[in-house]
Structure 1
């Protein structure tokens, strides 16, 4: 398992793979996607261009199997895992945990990692809490909550 920084020219492909991976969970939960990809192109551009953001490609035996966006604070060493995905068809082979270990190894000065995920993503919650050792520190719902305006108003949790 290895990580490389995604080239700027690769970001459109990175976005598409991430959106395809995220779409599966939304469709499983809600039966359909709302208008437009999840997360939106605008949200992804914001993540890619945030101060300290690093877009990483996850490679297994030289083959791209996923990606992550982390935000690294070189002063406080309190970092965030903003986006993390395995490509469609790559789940269930232990790659996610190996990728997480590779991310931790890449940033050994990190004191804490924080992330968040929608509450309906039980598989993600299990992964972060039971596999990676995150602790749930906050549970929240977007306000105002409008029934039927999924998935932007879904309950989420934050973990550290």
Structure 2
């Protein structure tokens, strides 16, 4: 069982890291771009290094969560994998929409959808994974902060 958990953790971690990498590639210089620097940002916007540290922590924690959750289903359980794939798509797409295309309103729709999906994972499976829910909490907390930052930019630029 522990070996199976480690294998699943490794698979989810690799896929999560891939999402980070693809997201960075799609960001068009992201926070260092002149466009982003010119935006009126929320007063609670963290320093740039916080984003990298937060996302690294989130993706590691989310891999632990998904490994634990997936043990409750046959490997490759389609409904769960569809939700996970949707999460991956929304996460990566937000980077492209926001930073590359400067479509802050469409990006807001994507980030709200992602926040709702992470909330669904958190509360729908809490009885299934019990204390492993703590491992998705950073994702939900960060999505709340990130969504508020996106909202601020939409309404103040």
- Larger relative strand fraction: 1
Bin for the TM-score computed over the shorter chain: 0.3 to 0.5
Larger relative contact order (CA 8 Å, sep ≥ 6): 2
User: Taking structure 2 as the reference length, what is the TM-score of the superposition?
Assistant: 0.35
User: Taking structure 1 as the reference length, what is the TM-score of the superposition?
Assistant: 0.34
- For the pair shown, the structure with the greater C-alpha radius of gyration is 2
- Larger relative helix fraction: 2
